[in-house]
Amino acid sequence: MSASALDKHYPIQHGDYTRAGEASADIKRTLRQLGVSADMMRRVSVAAYEAEMNMVIHSLGGEMCLQVEADHIRLTTQDVGPGIADIDSAMREGFSTANEEAQSMGFGAGMGLPNIKRNADAFNIHSQPGQGTRIEAVFYLS
Amino acid sequence: MTIRDLADKLGSRVLIGQDRLDQPVYSACCSDLMSDVLAFVTEKTVLLTGLTNMHVLRTAEILDLKCLIFARGKMPGQEMLERAEEMGLVVLCSPHTMFTSAGLLYEAGLRGALMPSGAAQQSAS
């Protein structure tokens, strides 16, 4: 696999529960076509699905990107707000500010960010209230 | 144990996958919280749930689950059934509550899907 073998961008809309998950499903299909192992495929697509749902539920919209390099996969999300005031709380399992609609879908129980972190080999989150949130999850291909 | 055995034990309707009932099953999980399923399930297992929205299918797709069982006679919409057929899933509809459905499957010898190492301690704390 050559460097920067793949770079895909997915726009994510706030509140679009019907299409939510389509980007993650495409990410999974893409990784399968690239011959990525089943375990790695599961880890990346679970992280992608949680990140996508987070953006649909909480953000004002943004973009999710998948980059596949020779030795790692990088999943990033960048949204346009509203940002997270207390990242430490948001990273705690069970902490949630999601609404009832999200919960009726089986999400919004405070597992999203911890699930992304648990599946990734490296995880970074930067957020500024009033601006937006950027998440980066890296998965090393051995 | 096969999916057919589960269907018989529950007295469930087979909504999708009549021709795929002879697949072996080794474990199951039971939740309405898809985030928990995404966090803790690592096997190609059976999901018993009371939720009937598209995110149950998305979760099944992400995790390569092979069988969905909807509890308490809940019926998913036609669009979901068509998508489940495309995915090659088996979809059952159990007349029992989640608790009783899970109990019947456990009694039949089915056990809970293994959680990734460390998850049990985390979730118990």
Residues of chain A found within 8 Å of residue B61, distances taken between Cβ atoms = 25, 28
pLDDT at B54 over 50: yes
* Complex ipTM value: 0.85
Residue-level pLDDT at A113: 93
Where do the DSSP E strands lie in chain A? 6-12, 62-68, 72-79, 122-128, 132-140
User: Which residue do the tokens 């697509």 mark?
Assistant: A45
Which of A21, A93, A118 lies at the smallest CB-CB distance from B55?
A21
CA-based nearest distance B125→chain A, Å: 10
CB–CB of A39/A6 below 8 Å?
A: no
Cα dist. B61→A10, A40, A45, A142 in Å? 19, 15, 10, 25
Q: Inform me whether the pLDDT recorded for B116 exceeds 70.
A: no
Q: How many CB pairs under 8 A join A and B?
A: 66
Mean pLDDT of chain B: 90
CB A43 within 8 A of CB A52: no
- pLDDT tens for each residue of B12-31: 999 999 999 999 998 999 99
Closest CA to B104 of B26, B8, B3, B33: B8
Is-above-0.80 flag for pTM?
Answer: yes
pLDDT value at position A9? 98
pLDDT band at B41 (very low <50, low <70, confident <90, very high): confident
Cβ A1 vs Cβ A70: under 8 Å: yes
DSSP β-bridge partners for residue B27: B111
Q: Using a CB-CB distance cutoff of 8 angstroms, which residues of chain B are in contact with residue A24?
A: 58, 62
For residue A93, list chain B residues with Cβ-Cβ distance below 8 A. Answer: 122-123
The DSSP code for B115 is: P
Say yes or no for a CB contact (<8 Å) between A111 and B35: yes
Helix axes B54-63, B78-87, angle to 10 degrees: 10
Q: Please tell me the predicted confidence (pLDDT) of residue B125.
A: 36
Chain B nearest-CA distance from A62, in A, is: 20
The reply to whether A49 touches chain B by the CB within 8 Å rule is: yes
- Preceding amide of A11 cis, omega within 30: no
CA distance B70 to A117: 30
Q: Which of B38, B56, B59, B66 to mutate to test the interface with A (most CBs of A within 10 A)?
A: B38
Q: For the segment B76-114, what is each residue's pLDDT rounded down to a tens digit? A: 999 999 999 999 999 999 999 999 999 999 999 999 887
Sign of the Cα pseudo-torsion (B61, B55, B80, A25, in order): negative
Regions of chain A where pLDDT drops below 50? 1-3
pLDDT of residue A14: 94
Question: For residues B46 and A103, which has the higher predicted lDDT (pLDDT)?
Answer: B46
Torsion B52-B55-B57-B60 (CA) sign: negative
Residues of A within 8 A of B36 (CB-CB) are 109, 111
pLDDT in the model for residue B117: 55
Question: CB-CB: which of B35, B58, B64 is closest to A21?
Answer: B58
